[in-house]
Structure 1
Amino acid sequence: MEKKKRMVGIWDVKHMFESSIIIFFVIGTLATTAVYYVNSDEQSPPVSHSAYVGDSLDGCDLFSGKWVHDNHSYPLYKELQCPYIPGEFSCGHYGRTDFKYQQWRWQPHGCNLPRFDDKKVLERLRGKRVIFVGDSVNRNQWLSMVCMLQSVIPLGLKKMQKTANVSLFTFKAFEYDVSIDFYWAPLLVESNADHPSNHKRNDRVINIDSIEKHARNWVNADILVFNSYLWWGTPTLKILYGSLADSKKYKIVGNHDGYEMVLAKWSNWLTTHINHRKTQSYFMSMTATHRRGADWGMQDNENCLNETEPVLKDNFWESGSDFKMMRILESSLDKLKARGVNVQLVNITQLTQYRKDAHPSIHRLFYSTLKAKQLSNPNGYADCTHWCLPGVPDTWNELLLAYILQRLE
């Protein structure tokens, strides 16, 4: 069967990041047949999730459950029908030919997730601004949300754009006056990783006193969705007291201490700058990175590459998850709640543990040419951090929307 060329509109995210120019090509309907649519902390996993087990929707813990194969209801959209999926997450376009990973439904124990209804969501979000703030996994989720909603919006009544000189990207649904934005701030405060594409660094440098540079772009949101986890994986980081240009005054701290300091700074800003009667705030928990095949019975040098099924063993945890980071986040949100600020934790950690099958691995666009030595060892460059679209991030948004829509009633 001849592989179909991808001729729907494609948003080249990398090019947009680097040139601040958005290119959209929308070409008509196709008639050919498609082949695709498409440090370990050495700790035990947390037994409970602090206050958050009982703080789920209508008394049901949406975050405890299992994956059920459901090829009737999922995927919620087709890869080829969403022109905004970038090469990092477009697994079918880059050679993946098994699609069962798109067909799993998260089934909470004792209740059901509300059925996703794109028109209902857009109607309830009418006139509102949603901002996802964080790293590339949050960007992964933002693009999932855009894909889940954009298909019912006619051409000419939707637009993707970048704000000049700011790491802000906006999807606008004009018919509903809805903005769904993404703001790149992987460490929440100002850091040496703030450029949305040119941020490859072996070290981590943050300006602990500078959150306003980013946060001034969030103040008029109706819904804020934060994440920050992956960029805290280095053992230490440098805390500056002064501008990034003047790095003479600093101290080196451990990653956990740095995370706690930044969350305290973020909490203070959130308490004093956000009208919480108007704005809903959420924090997405850490996600699994399936880099060690021995966790699920494979060889230790294997990872998510070629995995096509979830782990179906109850309470599975992969070894790369940093549970101390999770506890620091939970403690920070508890302290905020004691101050009268409710930031809902959307605890997607457990449900991502099982999904070793849903990463791009080698089926993605790589922005630098892979060398022969790399190509000879696909496990070495497989992406086991991000997630294919359609896929697991769609479930994160179903969970998120369950809270958002209930609070908008």
Structure 2
Amino acid sequence: MFVSLFCALRRVAGDVKKWRPAGADRGFTFLHYNLTIAYHRTNLLARYGSWSANSNGGKLEALGYKEGYRVDVDIPEGTWEKAPGFHDILIFNTGHWWWAPSKFDPIKSPMLFFERGLPLIPPIPPDVGFDKQIRFVEKTMQPSAIKLFRTQSPRHFEGGDWDQGGSCQRLQPLSPKEVEELFSLTKNGTNVEARLVNLHLYKSLKGSNFHILDITRMSEFRADAHPSTTGGKKHDDCMHWCLPGITDTWNDLFVTHLNSLKIRN
């Protein structure tokens, strides 16, 4: 989405300064318009790192935990902690890592949540930790900032997951029936993750002052829009998107959303 936005703006503004504002991974200022856009990479929004049991014991050790990942729900990851004080408009996206057994195995390497430097006892599940993280993010924002949360980007693996020979060789968008075959929660197939995460996301954002940028449904149809075998990987890339492509439409939706907020205000 960020690359698509940069390309669109670059077509109408030639004088661009490349830099990394507020600790961003990438950033550009379009000098004529005094407009800066930046991309801050973060997995959980919260600061996290590996955790191992202390030989002197502790509350988690007493419960039998030996290792896992410490997640501080009230400390932002350093990559974006300065962003709220710099940007007027922020688009957040997280969720994929929160419910990823390959990253945080609930048995072998669970997420262990901390607040104010102390472990939360009894240990809380990821959905409760996610709720706490959303509440904390809200508190860090400037009152005048426009805050959006982008829903999950769907994958289109067929015949297995990315490491099981899954592929995405379609040349046309899916029909509504085909979409449900791939993404229906009742079938619990390879690609249901986006809808599952969105269920948690909508629940956590209820009552917040975030505006939701829903890109999931429209993207579910575009099984034809991934790099597939041209992605330069050993397996089909059915997760990222080609440019030009669907992410351009995400930005069209984003601009429309901004205009609607401007009219309302």
Contact (CA 8 Å) 2:166, 2:236: kept in 1 or not? no
**CA 1:251–1:397: 2 relative to 1, 3 Å:** farther
For residue 188 of structure 1, the aligned residue among 38, 42, 45 is 45
- Displacement of 1:253 after TM fit? 6.7
Contact (CA 8 Å) 1:144, 1:393: kept in 2 or not? yes
Instruction: Map 1:352-391 to 2 at 5 A.
Output: 352-365=219-232, 374=234, 381-391=235-245
Instruction: Map 1:232-243 to 2 at 5 A.
Output: 232=98, 233-234=100-101, 235-236=105-106, 237-241=110-114
Other-structure match for 2:137: 269
Other-structure match for 1:170: 27
- Displacement of 1:158 after TM fit? 0.7
**CA 1:404–1:285: 2 relative to 1, 3 Å:** same
- Displacement of 1:354 after TM fit? 1.2
Q: Distance in 2 between matches of 1:363 and 1:252?
A: 47
Tell me which moved more, 257-266 or 174-183: 257-266
TM-score by length of 2: 0.73
Cα RMSD of the aligned pairs, angstroms, is 3.2
**CA 1:364–1:162: 2 relative to 1, 3 Å:** farther
The reply on whether 1:147 has 2:10 as its aligned counterpart is no
- Displacement of 1:345 after TM fit? 1.1
- Displacement of 1:348 after TM fit? 1.4
Q: Distance in 1 between matches of 2:146 and 2:29?
A: 19
- Displacement of 1:315 after TM fit? 7.5
For residue 345 of structure 1, the aligned residue among 188, 201, 212 is 212
Contact (CA 8 Å) 2:156, 2:238: kept in 1 or not? yes
TM-score by length of 1: 0.49
- Displacement of 1:327 after TM fit? 1.8
Q: Distance in 1 between matches of 2:219 and 2:28?
A: 26
Indicate the SS of the match to 1:181: strand
- Tell me which amino acid in the other structure corresponds to 2:17: K
Contact (CA 8 Å) 2:49, 2:70: kept in 1 or not? yes
Contact (CA 8 Å) 2:70, 2:114: kept in 1 or not? no
- Tell me which amino acid in the other structure corresponds to 2:152: M
Contact (CA 8 Å) 2:225, 2:242: kept in 1 or not? yes
Q: Distance in 2 between matches of 1:162 and 1:220?
A: 12
Indicate the SS of the match to 1:396: helix
Q: Distance in 2 between matches of 1:145 and 1:252?
A: 43
- Once the two structures are superposed, residues 151-210 of structure 1 have per-residue CA deviations (whole angstroms, 9 ceiling, x without a partner) of 1112xx11222359x3442111000000111111121111349xxxxxxxxx86533332
Instruction: Map 1:305-316 to 2 at 5 A.
Output: 306-314=169-177, 316=179
Gaps of 5+ in 1: 1-140, 194-202, 367-373, 375-380
Q: Distance in 2 between matches of 1:315 and 1:346?
A: 24
For residue 179 of structure 1, the aligned residue among 36, 42, 49 is 36
**CA 1:293–1:351: 2 relative to 1, 3 Å:** farther
Other-structure match for 1:289: 155
Contact (CA 8 Å) 1:224, 1:279: kept in 2 or not? yes
**CA 1:335–1:407: 2 relative to 1, 3 Å:** closer
Contact (CA 8 Å) 1:188, 1:262: kept in 2 or not? no
Q: Distance in 2 between matches of 1:249 and 1:151?
A: 50
Contact (CA 8 Å) 2:18, 2:28: kept in 1 or not? yes
Instruction: Map 1:27-38 to 2 at 5 A.
Output: none
The reply on whether 1:206 has 2:71 as its aligned counterpart is yes
- Once the two structures are superposed, residues 25-56 of structure 1 have per-residue CA deviations (whole angstroms, 9 ceiling, x without a partner) of xxxxxxxxxxxxxxxxxxxxxxxxxxxxxxxx
Q: Distance in 2 between matches of 1:360 and 1:250?
A: 42
Other-structure match for 1:408: 262
Contact (CA 8 Å) 1:360, 1:386: kept in 2 or not? yes
- Tell me which amino acid in the other structure corresponds to 1:331: K
Q: Distance in 2 between matches of 1:253 and 1:184?
A: 27
Indicate the SS of the match to 1:400: helix
Indicate the SS of the match to 1:264: helix
Contact (CA 8 Å) 1:260, 1:328: kept in 2 or not? no
- Tell me which amino acid in the other structure corresponds to 1:211: P
Indicate the SS of the match to 1:335: coil
For residue 395 of structure 1, the aligned residue among 235, 243, 249 is 249
- Tell me which amino acid in the other structure corresponds to 1:403: H
- Displacement of 1:382 after TM fit? 1.3
- Tell me which amino acid in the other structure corresponds to 1:207: D
- Displacement of 1:264 after TM fit? 2.1
- Tell me which amino acid in the other structure corresponds to 1:144: S
Gaps of 5+ in 2: 51-67, 183-188
Tell me which moved more, 232-241 or 347-356: 232-241
- Once the two structures are superposed, residues 205-244 of structure 1 have per-residue CA deviations (whole angstroms, 9 ceiling, x without a partner) of 533332274333223321110111222322533225389x
Indicate the SS of the match to 2:27: strand
Q: Distance in 2 between matches of 1:315 and 1:262?
A: 31
The number of equivalent residue pairs is 227
